Structure 1
Amino acid sequence: MKKKLIAIAVGAAMAVPVVAMADVTFYGRAHVSVDYLDDGADYSETNLSSNSSRLGFKGDHQVNPDLKAFFQIEQQINFTTGSSDGDSTSFATRDTFVGLGGNFGEVQLGRFDSPFKVARGPANLFGDQVGDMRNLTRFGNGRFDERYDNTIQYTTPTMGGFNAKLAYSMYEGQWAVEDEDSDAVSMSLNYAGGPLEASLAYEQVEEDQGRGERDGIRAAAAYKLTDAFKLVGFYQTVDHDSPVQAERDAWSSNVYGLGGEFAVAKNTALKAMWMTRDSDADNADADMWVVGVEHKLDKAVRVYANYAIVDNDDNSAQVPWEQARSANVRSNAGLGVAPAGEKASGLSVGLRYDF
């Protein structure tokens, strides 16, 4: 009898961690590319780049039939150097949150992409690649594609294909500071149904937030004209309230563009997009063209090749490879001086493995 009781106790003890971890998933993305980058001035080199690669844990727990708890912890990883990106002592640098969900929708708290940032999704044909639209939308201190700290977000239930997100970032930094106004509000209305996917978003940030006071509107849409062809469109307007006129003009702009994706075979697609940045500053506009082909080896692994060009006005210095990638160098980068008025291009061959 004693031996049976001991065996039962040991078995129960061993089963506890298994039960606790039953709804927790380990996941990640290894996304690496070989790129030839030419900024049109003095820099033209071949690079190996890690493109927003990450590792994470996520899970949920059913509290009762009407309520569940969920969490996510995610860290960016540089697969070309074998280290985490950013501060080597940090963890959970990407979307990390905890929340509750049910018939009322979802409430989550932590650090994660704003509704405004996520709203580019329907038109984001080249995300985390050479030609990413953020090379034009995420400009200087007028940038909006942010992941805010100390945020609480409410997501409505989906009704008729529609849902809405409302997020409030209470303050920037570890804790709130007296007489500091660094909060942010971000919201979006989203639709997915039939051939159409679309988002409309607004964001407003106060003056003491690290990049200053600003507000913006963003709209993105994708429409499947046929089973093989998808048309996408994007529009964004950003106003920055810097007290310095030159900065206000440089960081305020309209960005818009059109693109398409055509399935030439079951797992192979051709993609193309044109975008333009219309700056409030004189002679500071830029156009970007991107073409690419992507082939999915299976659900988890894909390979692709892209070619992108940014054509700058005399006072613009954009390149098509600077965002969401470890290979983001350009000539004179160490001096903080970028070549303006040039035509910058990038040719990229990549491998993405989602696990």
Structure 2
Amino acid sequence: MKKLLLATAVAALSVSAANAAPTIYGKAFVGMDYVDIDDEWSNKNEDSVQINSYSSRLGFKGSEAITANTDVIYQYEVGINIDGNEGDDNNIAFKSRDTFLGFKNDSYGELRFGRNTSVVDYVNNVVTSGSGFWDNLGSNQLNENENGYNMTDSGRRDNSVVWMAPKYNNLPLDVALMYKANESLDDSTVDADAGFAASAMYDAGTGITFGAAYDNDVNLDGDLLRATAAVDLSKYMAAPVTVGAMYQVADFDDSDKMGARGSEKEKGLVVSAKMGLNNFAKPAAVYIQYNNTDNLLGFSDADSDQIVVGGEYNYKPNMIAHVWAGQNSADLGGSDYDLLAIGGGLEYKF
């Protein structure tokens, strides 16, 4: 009897320790690019060959039960610049990514407190998600820009809370809400307003997904509305192709500060297609994506177009080779901007 009790106690301690131990994970993604920029806005005409680190990261995450239905969840994640382009003396730099402490309950969903990705990004289901030099959106700031001009993107926000709703009657709908706190006691502080955002993604497993999101003072000083859709055509015909589209409207509150040029709503469109290739020893695919943005940052005379093609080859599920080529062109109120980037890289996940 004593041996049985001892074995039970040891097993219980082992389970407790296993639950408390964090999972270590990460990604290393390094590429080489030829980049050519012709920017009349900043009087820059240069080209170079670059070694770049793309969303490389290291993280720790885990959970531990505090009741029968509730777990404490945690995550600490940092970005790593493997190429050493940031930080003192070109050392590897660490940049905060999603880092939070929270709770997960079977009946009430999940709460995350800390630095969180905006829930607007939860509906970003256009099919050629960011890889290498080119991502789905990029940056749209109207200054010297080495990654192109595109519609307003979502990002990570400090001092935020995210709630992920539990499934209701197995409805294939994922709902999330976000609150970004205003911790400033100075009303004159720029972009100090508290904000909120909401998103909903519908996926019934039929190969068709729909998403919608709304943002007020989270990713911009104003309102943002995003709608997305994607269709996996292989579910309906003998074609290993997935197509996707995103449409977004951003209304900036600070248009009065910009004058008449900054009084328009920014409108962005992304369309993309990805096709699997069956004549390779390993899984492979090619893709194409087009981005169009009118009225960048609300300026009526600033527009951009971007076209990207690329491919990927999966040596293993966690080891992927990438190639890409893209062109981003913008008219910045009479000043032309052109960016060409061609490259490739290796992505390793662990």
TM-score range, shorter chain: 0.7 to 0.9
- CA spacing shift, 1:140–1:88, aligned 2, 3 Å: farther
1:50 aligns with 2:49: no
**Residue in structure 2 matching 1:288, options 306, 309, 315:** 306
Q: Cα offset for 1:295?
A: 0.6
User: Is the 8 Å Cα contact of residues 76 and 84 (structure 1) preserved in structure 2?
Assistant: no
Alignment match, 1:270: 286
Question: Is the CA contact 2:137–2:153 (under 8 Å) kept in the aligned structure 1?
Answer: no
Alpha-carbon separation, structure 2, partners of 1:78 and 1:88 = 9
Q: State the distance in 2 between where 1:224 and 1:230 align.
A: 4
Structure 2 gap ranges (5+): 1-5, 40-44, 144-150
The one-letter amino acid of 2:314's match is K
1:222 and 1:66 map into 2 onto residues whose CA distance is: 34
Cα-to-partner distance string for 1:91-118 (whole Å, 9 max, x where unaligned): 6711000111122111111111010133
Report the 3-state secondary structure (helix = DSSP H, G, I; strand = E; otherwise coil) of the residue aligned with 2:38: coil
Match of 2:110 among 106, 109, 113: 106
Match of 1:163 in 2: 174
Contact 1:140 1:251 in 2 (8 A): no
* 1:212 positional shift: 6.5
Report the AA paired with residue 83 of structure 2: T
Q: C-alpha separation between the residues in 1 aligned to 2:81 and 2:16?
A: 31
Q: Which deviations, in whole Å up to 9, do the C-alpha atoms of 1:174-230 show, x marking residues without a partner?
A: x44254652111110112222023321010118xxxx86211001122210115110
Which of 267, 270, 273 does residue 257 from structure 1 map onto?
270
- Alpha-carbon deviation of 1:80? 0.7
Contact 1:77–1:83 (CA under 8 A) maintained in structure 2: no
Select the residue among 35, 38, 57 that pairs with 2:36. 38
Q: 1:130 aligns with which of 114, 123, 133?
A: 133
Tell me the equivalent position of 2:74: 71
Partner of 1:27: 25
* 1:309 to 1:250, Cα distance in 2 relative to 1, 3 A: farther
Aligned to 2:99, which of 84, 96, 116? 96
Tell me which residue corresponds to 2:338. 343
Q: 1:50 to 1:251 in 2, by over 3 A?
A: farther
AA in 1 matched with 2:156: R
TM-score by length of 2: 0.79
Q: After TM superposition, give the deviation of residue 119 of structure 1 in Å.
A: 2.5
Cα 1:83–1:354 change in 2 (3 A) is farther
Counterparts of 1:244 and 1:43 in 2: how far apart (Å)? 33
Q: Deviations over 1:157-181 (max 9, x none)?
A: 134210211110112xxx4425465
CA distance 1:293–1:251, shift in 2 (3 Å): farther
Query: What SS does structure 2 have at the residue aligned with 1:64?
Result: coil
Deviation of the 1:348 alpha carbon:
1.5
Q: Secondary structure of the equivalent of 1:222?
A: strand
| Cα RMSD for the two superposed structures | 3.1
Letter of the structure 1 residue corresponding to residue 50 of structure 2: N
Deviation, 1:17, is: 12
Contiguous gaps of at least 5 residues in structure 1: 1-7, 317-339
Q: Tell me how far 1:149 sits from its aligned partner.
A: 1.1
Distance in structure 2 (CA, Å) of the matches to 1:304 and 1:43: 25
In the alignment, structure 1 residue 216 sits paired with structure 2 residue 227:
no
Distance between the aligned counterparts of 2:186 and 2:92, measured in 1? 28
